[in-house]
Structure 1
Amino acid sequence: MSESLFRKEALESNRTKMIGSVALYCPPYRWLVISIVALITVSIALFFVFGSYTKRETAVGELLPVGGVLTVSPPVSGTVVNLSVTEGESVHKGQPLMEISSEVATSLGRTRHMVADQLEMQRSRLQADLAALDTLNKEAILGLKERLVLLQSQLKQTEMQRKQRIRQIELARVQLDKIQQMQKEGYASNTQVEQQETNLLDTDTRLQETTRQQLDLQQQIAQTYQQLREQPLNALNQRHDMQSKLSNIDQQLAENESRRSVVLQAPQDSVVGAVLTKQGQIVNAGQSVVSLLPENGKLQARMMVSSRSIGFIQAGQRVVLRYQAYPYQKFGQQYGRVAEVSRTALSPQEVATLTGNNEVREQHYRVVVELDKQDILVYGKTEHLKPGIALEADFLIDNRRLIEWVLEPLYALGRRSAS
């Protein structure tokens, strides 16, 4: 019989453990927590699957009439002496808007006024000369005809004298022959022969003088005929010369008046949007003094979109508008649709000219948006929108589910791998 080294009580005591058996404790609301976590997880999953996000491109612009804003500027510098219109007034094409005077006063007085008076005097004299030109032409033709009749009468008389001289020469030669015959027979002296020869020479000299007078008269008659033919042409040339001088004076008068006073007129039927000057104010050439709006013109939003953002913007796209004059936090956002996108990009210089923004460094496209409404509800009242209101626009260019946006990098990687 073998005996243990330790007593039975010691062995029993060693078997006793200080820690009891393991028991799992589950609180009574554990299923509620599990349900909430599961619901949140499912909601997030559903949100990513069925939720969507719209990508937007933002641009800034302003409201402008469909026909654009017309600005009227004077061609010369001067003082506004007569302001004929007020803001909001309807004007017709050609209606005077204002008169601008550039009259300069010196020690001699108003110089342009004096120049105008001198030109008017010259113009009056030329008009009087032009009116008398027909009478002078008729008188000149009548005088030439009378002179022609007189010359022809003198030519006839000269012809008669010439015939008489020829007859006298014939008689003198016959007489000389007789005296020479009588001298041979001794009945006439040498002195008688010499006298008869001298008489013949005198008669021949008078014939030559008469012939010279006849030729001179024929030349004068030919010249008179030539003057008769040229007189209408000369009168016509004088008329053209006077008319040219009159046109030159009229041009000088117009130029003097344009420098002296300019009347600005409405280029078309429109409404005065703004009068940018006042009577008595000095304005510079090219300075905008009146802005005109088309009558009953609808407004549209015009903005410049950078070439980096223009890719997905196209006609018919929905646009969200926020007018700076009416904060959208209080008066809400407005809507419109893209009506037009320019086909060519505008250079930074062209954008600066159109918008006045000189900080543009890249090309832009002009986008025109047609408004859904031409008014806005402000504190319960409908207010018509005004040209020139600045705005921000969000172009809704791409709408996708959230899961597609999350997985877009994987899609892109797959497309690159496939290509």
Structure 2
Amino acid sequence: MKDKGLFRANAVKQQSARLDGDVIIAQPVSSSLLTGILLCVIVAIVVFLGATSFNRKETVSGYLKPDIGLAKVASSRTGVIQQIYVDDGQQVQAGDRLALVAIPEHLSAGDSLTGTLFQGLLQQTELVNVRKQQVISQLSQQEVELTTRLTLSRNLLSDIGAQQQLLQQRLQLNQQRYQNYQNLTDRGAISTNELQQQHELVLNIQQQLAELNASEQSQKAQIEQLSGQLQRLPSEQQQQLAVLDSDISRLKQQQTELNARGELLITAPITGRVTNLVAEIGNNVQMGLPLLTIMPDNAALQAVLLVPTRAYGFVMPGQRTRLRFDAFPYQRFGLYEGEVIKTAQAIVLPNEVDMPVAVQEPVYRVEVALASQHIRAYGNTVPLQSGMLLSADIVLEQRSLLAWLFEPVLSLKGRL
């Protein structure tokens, strides 16, 4: 049996007849050029997306403050400003007078309570001073009196001594005469009666001498007493005057306390420069409200940024930021550089801390060092002031545009 092929003979014959040479498919030149350009554009776009970064930023508010603290001076009591001793921008030393505040208090009749009490203290002080002068005068008179009595007693003692000498001489003479009378009586020259009279005379003189001796002892005792009183007089005077001086000192202290109650002298707590002086003579002041601010010497201003919790995760020291001051529009004066130097570890709640910027949500305090303490405005150098408000851009993250485009895919991969 003759074998039959798979294809028909006509088809095989037709396939055996081939054209000589290679088969070339012709393409237009414009299609190749367009393909190359398209590939270059795609590569350029990919390179651009990969090389170009995209910053996600958060705009936050803040203010300027000194780096070593600011002293806000306030009145500790409610009153009326009577005197202001400083001007805005003036340099002051710690303890210098800043302002005097009057504390008005009145009785039901309308009289000043402080004035009434003060007049009473003045009258008491005057009475004590009068009493002091009386004591000094009385003690001086006592001293003169004691001195006079002492002089008289000494003179009297001297007279008694002279009388004693005379009586002693008379006694000796009469005693000798009495002995002579005894001899004469024994011989019968005189009568016994004359002898007795002479004896009575001797006894009388002895009695007078005894009385003078008693007077002498009495005068000596009196002189001793007067001398002691005269010696004790200065110490007694000092004691009485010390009591009166103590009363005067107590009354003056009460006057001082009353003055302090009626007036309040406000002094500088630190050395520095006066700023933000809002106090005016005649104005009512409330307790605790600042009257002025003192900028410490050698203090540098720094920015305090209030960063919300949602933007705080990537903030760190050394990070650069750009600042815009509200007082100097950035469209005209440009942006200013700053560097984060300190980040807080605890949040600040609304109304928890007294700040010049109102806070509506929990924030972190971030301190930023300024590149300059001045602003160039219209050819002049304008110093920055404490309390100026500002805004700043915080860079949260930096990614390429390519990563940003593929973020949905990457986030989907993270979920899987």
TM value normalised by structure 2 = 0.61
Classify the secondary structure of the residue corresponding to 2:276. Answer: strand
Provide the residue aligned with 1:2 in structure 2.
2
1:33 matches 2:38: yes
| CA pair 210-374 structure 1, distance change in 2 beyond 3 A | same
* 1:320 partner amino acid: R
Say which is worse superposed, 320-329 or 114-123, in terms of deviation.
320-329
**Offset, 1:264:** 3.8
Q: Could you tell me how far apart the structure 2 residues matched to 1:102 and 1:61 are?
A: 40
- Within the candidate set 309, 314, 317, 1:313 is matched to 317
**Offset, 1:113:** 1.5
Say which is worse superposed, 140-149 or 321-330, in terms of deviation.
321-330
| CA pair 325-230 structure 1, distance change in 2 beyond 3 A | same
Matches within 5 A, 1:217-366: 217-232=219-234, 242-264=244-266, 270-271=273-274, 273-275=276-278, 279=282, 281=284, 283-284=286-287, 287-293=288-294, 300-303=301-304, 313=317, 319-323=321-325, 333-336=335-338
* 1:216 partner amino acid: S
| CA pair 390-201 structure 1, distance change in 2 beyond 3 A | farther
Classify the secondary structure of the residue corresponding to 2:293. Answer: strand
Q: Deviations over 1:228-275 (max 9, x none)?
A: 555555555555555444433322211111102234466778555143
Q: Could you tell me how far apart the structure 2 residues matched to 1:204 and 1:395 are?
A: 126
Are the aligned partners of 2:326 and 2:389 in contact in 1 as well (CA < 8 Å)? yes
| CA pair 168-353 structure 1, distance change in 2 beyond 3 A | farther
Provide the residue aligned with 2:217 in structure 1.
215
Q: Could you tell me how far apart the structure 1 residues matched to 2:7 and 2:131 are?
A: 166
Q: Deviations over 1:370-391 (max 9, x none)?
A: 452534769x999875432344
Q: Deviations over 1:328-348 (max 9, x none)?
A: 68975322467x879x99999
Classify the secondary structure of the residue corresponding to 1:105. Answer: coil
Matches within 5 A, 1:44-83: 47=51, 61-64=62-65, 69-75=70-76, 77-80=77-80, 82=82
Q: Could you tell me how far apart the structure 1 residues matched to 2:334 and 2:39 are?
A: 42
* 1:40 partner amino acid: I
What are structure 2's unaligned runs of at least 5 residues?
16-22, 402-416
Q: Could you tell me how far apart the structure 2 residues matched to 1:361 and 1:197 are?
A: 127
* 2:64 partner amino acid: L
| CA pair 367-215 structure 1, distance change in 2 beyond 3 A | farther
Q: Deviations over 1:36-60 (max 9, x none)?
A: 2233344456x2xxx7899999997
- Within the candidate set 115, 118, 125, 2:117 is matched to 115
Query: Identity percentage over the alignment?
Result: 18
Provide the residue aligned with 1:374 in structure 2.
374
* 2:113 partner amino acid: T
- How many residue pairs are counted as aligned between the two chains? 379
TM value normalised by structure 1 = 0.61
**Offset, 1:298:** 8.1
Are the aligned partners of 1:310 and 1:365 in contact in 2 as well (CA < 8 Å)? no
Are the aligned partners of 1:67 and 1:294 in contact in 2 as well (CA < 8 Å)? no
Q: Could you tell me how far apart the structure 2 residues matched to 1:247 and 1:277 are?
A: 36
What are structure 1's unaligned runs of at least 5 residues?
16-20, 403-419
Matches within 5 A, 1:105-254: 105-106=107-108, 109-127=111-129, 141-170=143-172, 173-174=175-176, 193=196, 203-232=205-234, 242-254=244-256
Are the aligned partners of 1:158 and 1:213 in contact in 2 as well (CA < 8 Å)? yes
| CA pair 71-40 structure 1, distance change in 2 beyond 3 A | closer
Classify the secondary structure of the residue corresponding to 1:210. Answer: helix
CA RMSD of aligned residues (A): 6.0
Are the aligned partners of 1:68 and 1:293 in contact in 2 as well (CA < 8 Å)? no
Q: Could you tell me how far apart the structure 1 residues matched to 2:118 and 2:192 are?
A: 92
Q: Could you tell me how far apart the structure 2 residues matched to 1:58 and 1:313 are?
A: 18
Q: Could you tell me how far apart the structure 2 residues matched to 1:7 and 1:341 are?
A: 91
1:103 matches 2:102: no
Classify the secondary structure of the residue corresponding to 1:275. Answer: coil
Q: Deviations over 1:178-211 (max 9, x none)?
A: 6666777787569975x77666555444433322
* 1:273 partner amino acid: N
1:388 matches 2:377: no
Q: Deviations over 1:269-327 (max 9, x none)?
A: 8555143688464633xx13411355999871253899x9999736xx85532446778
Say which is worse superposed, 170-179 or 154-163, in terms of deviation.
170-179
| CA pair 328-156 structure 1, distance change in 2 beyond 3 A | same
Are the aligned partners of 1:376 and 1:382 in contact in 2 as well (CA < 8 Å)? yes
